[in-house]
Structure 1
Amino acid sequence: MSDYQHDEGRYVGKQVRAIRARRGMSQQMLGDLVGLSRGAIAKYENGERPVDSRRILLALASALGVTIGDLTGHEQEKLDPATAGFHSAVPEIETALWTHGNVTDNRPPRSLDELTALAREATRLRNDCDYAALGPMLVPMLTDAYRHVRDADSDHAERAWDVLGTVAYGVASALRARGYHALAWTAAQEVERAAAHAGGAAPIAAAAFAQGQILLSRPGALPTALSTTMGTAEKIAADVRTVGEIETYGMLHLQASIVAATMGSDPEPHLVEAAEQAGRLGEAKPNTSVARNESFGAANVALWRMSAAVERREPGQALALAPGLSPIDLPNEGRRAQYFVEIGRAHAMQRNYPDSLYALLRAEHAAPQHVRNMVHVRELVGHMMRTARRNLTTGDLGRLAQRVGVVPA
């Protein structure tokens, strides 16, 4: 056992133990609510077992009557100097959403063409998980998009709403990724409102995807996450023709696959449909809307298949899929990081910790701001620190544990 035991560090089970005690619940009571044995709860609380699946994390939060952030310590992440630029922008993002951009701002607004180009750059930063650079861009983009919606004549109104929907989608996605789920929902509702004015299948699919992603992080909301994505997919399926429509529609099926896996049902039908849609991209019509999801494609479908396997605790299947997918084929640094995270999680499930650590280090190299904030990564690194020999905790593992915040720097 490791000499690290004298400092338990930061992990989900520690929070579970503290909140359970405040609730006056026994381990047996909590286990009965979650569907686990008392012994399993004890192992989570003592740090002997990492909370390494979304299903267990959601079940624990639901049983204790708290949010995911209450268990993962989201408030501490706001103090991370690497992403301070993003967190400091959040109050202004909130104001811009609440006021529909009717704020004190004397800048001349960018043109719709300029705003569209800036939205593409923001999408690139978000996909590469560079939230520090992205944060300061969001409020001016939102404000300008709202101005165009207010001021556009009848010939330009639809395009203005289309651009607003794309900007609001990016805001919702970034807020969700940094743990601001309630505010992300407000932004996602703006995506939905814009889609109603812009028309077309792609904005509607983008709105449903944003909402489904947020619902996936809320205890008890998995059925709604699935019905939101699949209800929208069924509604727009007959109208999906352009590249952007196929991309956003395909992402709905990928979202449904991970929700299904988290619920313990079969993700395969959704993955098959997504793969078929990816096969249509090469001959699809050009976009009529700026709404897109350029991450979608055959490589991303393969990655989500790995993620679904890990979520279903099938590490052997995930590792068997990994060699067939080259990280170079994935569309951005965020997706490449996810590839290595899934490999790391799968190796850890098989207690192959050296290979798990190597994969997590490669993930961190690809997208450090994202990976250092991931619950699964913190849980696995903390677990390895508690079980590793002392000489390992002072090397790469110990340094990674400091960077992800499971032990003091």
Structure 2
Amino acid sequence: MSSDATPDPYADPLRFGQRVQILRERRGMTQAQLADLVGISPHTLRKIENGQQKAPDLDRVMRIAEALRVRDLAELTGHPDMHVDLFIGPGHPRLASVKAAVDSFTLGSGIEPPPVAHLEARLHAAWKARHEARNHREVVGRLLPDLIRDGQALVRHADASASRRAAQALLAEAYSLCQFFAAYQPDSSLLWRVAERGMTAAQESEDPHAIGVAAWLLAQAHRDSGPRHFDAADAVNREAIAFLAPLLPDASDNVRAIAGALEFELGYTAARRRETGTAWRHWDQASRMAKKLPRDYYHPITSFSRAIMGAHAVTVAVELHQGGESVRQAAKADKTVIKSKPRRARHRIEEARGYQLDGQPDVAIATLQKAHEAAPETIAYNGYARRIILEEIESKVAERRRRASDLAMKVGILAA
């Protein structure tokens, strides 16, 4: 390694400030950007990085970890006894079999493809099971290997252009389901393979809905990779919206819904940038699109609907760090019921973030308990939820500390 190479925070016992600087620069963030996300002045952050100010308290350390999307707290602190996974789970038991199915390519004709209608019905049942299951990764992980292999076989055996396009649409849908499983698993390369193959299959299918869903998921993969990839996320979203726009007057509800979901994603990314006006403008546009859908409609993959817009408003407010506004939006959103248990749990986590920002940690912990009741596997793999729980384990209020510790054991952060 050359002498001017970036030091590896795993290799050298660097002080906290140096680690912050290294990880910030790897994320492509300026001091001003990180300071804004953490809620301190650039001057204070500069002093922390230069070692002129001691490492901050746990709350501030966790906020820095959140902003830098640090996967393991030891990576930031340098303490080997602080190996706490933040934004990625320990790995689901079914991850190996799903990965094997994604990585396997049978070039021969040994696998007999199922009838198209049969695979369609199984995919429909898989999405339904995902939305209804509390442990949705277990349910989906059990189904995915066969769905992926059969989708690949269907594409290989297609003997006409129309049947091949139909097969590619089903394979794209299987990859979309797989991306939900792969998110927050300790294999980011798998997530990218799935996202890119899903987009390739969707484009080959020429199916507007498949293309919209693949774009929605690919944009999320870019955004979750950090601020340097926000522009790429926006580019994918905008191109997909432009592709769908001419089709919308005569489109199905599913196509109109995925267009609305893509519109909201632009607002979500803007909120991550702290662009308040832009974020709410895209939310407004997505809300208008949702109101054109039937009142009881839910998109089968994204859950986009009239009802979900309240939850989306909470997300925007939280990402903008508007604590009071996020609490107000949470009160409005709770008037509707989100049918999908994983999506309901995620909404509860976003609400908990809002309550934490608003200085209501007891309500935040209570809300995370509701998230755990709705879908334990959602909260177990969510870094924001884990950060709040870890903060409140250190609370000086005994009852709050006890409730946070109990939840931490349920989620798997602490050993029983």
Cα shift at 1:295: 0.6
Q: Of residues 200, 211, 216 in structure 2, which corresponds to 1:204?
A: 211
Cα shift at 1:20: 8.6
Flag the 1:152–1:229 CA change in 2: closer, same or farther, 3 A.
same
What letter matches 1:110 in structure 2? P
Paired residues for 1:148-297 under 5 Å: 148-154=154-160, 155-219=162-226, 220-240=228-248, 241-265=251-275, 266-282=278-294, 293=301, 295-297=303-305
* Residues in 2 aligned to 1:403 and 1:363: alpha-carbon distance in whole angstroms: 12
Cα shift at 1:51: 3.4
Is residue 122 of structure 1 aligned with residue 158 of structure 2?
no
Is the 2:16–2:55 contact (alpha carbons within 8 Å) kept by the matching residues of 1?
no
Is the 1:212–1:225 contact (alpha carbons within 8 Å) kept by the matching residues of 2?
yes
* Residues in 1 aligned to 2:130 and 2:13: alpha-carbon distance in whole angstroms: 39
What letter matches 1:171 in structure 2? C
What letter matches 2:18 in structure 1? S
Is residue 147 of structure 1 aligned with residue 158 of structure 2?
no
More helix by share: 1
* Residues in 2 aligned to 1:389 and 1:278: alpha-carbon distance in whole angstroms: 43
SS class of match (1:275): helix
* Residues in 2 aligned to 1:23 and 1:54: alpha-carbon distance in whole angstroms: 15
Q: Which residue of 1 aligns with 2:3?
A: none
Cα shift at 1:177: 4.3
Cα shift at 1:326: 3.2
Q: Of residues 302, 310, 319 in structure 1, which corresponds to 2:318?
A: 310
Q: Of residues 18, 24, 27 in structure 2, which corresponds to 1:26?
A: 18
Cα shift at 1:195: 2.0
SS class of match (1:77): coil
* Residues in 2 aligned to 1:218 and 1:19: alpha-carbon distance in whole angstroms: 23
Q: Which residue of 2 aligns with 1:136?
A: 142
1:133-173 Cα shifts (integer Å, max 9, x gaps) = 21121111111111111112324222111111111111123
Is the 2:346–2:378 contact (alpha carbons within 8 Å) kept by the matching residues of 1?
no
Is the 2:127–2:300 contact (alpha carbons within 8 Å) kept by the matching residues of 1?
no
SS class of match (1:267): helix
> What is the alpha-carbon root mean square deviation over aligned residues?
3.5
Flag the 1:18–1:157 CA change in 2: closer, same or farther, 3 A.
closer
Q: Which residue of 1 aligns with 2:384?
A: 376
1:195-234 Cα shifts (integer Å, max 9, x gaps) = 2222132122112111111111113211111121122212
Flag the 1:182–1:28 CA change in 2: closer, same or farther, 3 A.
closer
Flag the 1:153–1:325 CA change in 2: closer, same or farther, 3 A.
same
Flag the 1:305–1:28 CA change in 2: closer, same or farther, 3 A.
closer
1:232-267 Cα shifts (integer Å, max 9, x gaps) = 212321112211211211111121111110011131
Q: Of residues 327, 331, 350 in structure 2, which corresponds to 1:323?
A: 331
Unaligned runs of 5+ in 1: 1-15
* Residues in 1 aligned to 2:377 and 2:408: alpha-carbon distance in whole angstroms: 14
Is the 2:311–2:333 contact (alpha carbons within 8 Å) kept by the matching residues of 1?
yes
1:253-295 Cα shifts (integer Å, max 9, x gaps) = 1211111100111311211221122122239xx9xxxx96351
TM-score w.r.t. structure 1 length?
0.80
What letter matches 2:158 in structure 1? A
* Residues in 2 aligned to 1:249 and 1:53: alpha-carbon distance in whole angstroms: 34
SS class of match (1:26): helix
Flag the 1:215–1:308 CA change in 2: closer, same or farther, 3 A.
same
Cα shift at 1:27: 7.1
Aligned length: 373
Q: Which residue of 2 aligns with 1:5?
A: none
Unaligned runs of 5+ in 2: 1-7, 25-29, 36-41, 77-81
Is the 2:216–2:237 contact (alpha carbons within 8 Å) kept by the matching residues of 1?
yes
Is residue 407 of structure 1 aligned with residue 399 of structure 2?
no
TM-score w.r.t. structure 2 length?
0.79
* Residues in 2 aligned to 1:385 and 1:151: alpha-carbon distance in whole angstroms: 56
Flag the 1:371–1:137 CA change in 2: closer, same or farther, 3 A.
same
Cα shift at 1:76: 8.2
- Name which structure has the greater RCO, CA cutoff 8 Å, separation 6+: 1
Is the 2:386–2:413 contact (alpha carbons within 8 Å) kept by the matching residues of 1?
yes
Q: Which runs of 4+ in 1 moved over 6 A?
A: 16-20, 39-44
Identity %: 17
Cα shift at 1:324: 2.0
Is the 1:142–1:164 contact (alpha carbons within 8 Å) kept by the matching residues of 2?
yes
Is the 1:226–1:256 contact (alpha carbons within 8 Å) kept by the matching residues of 2?
yes
Is the 2:212–2:240 contact (alpha carbons within 8 Å) kept by the matching residues of 1?
yes
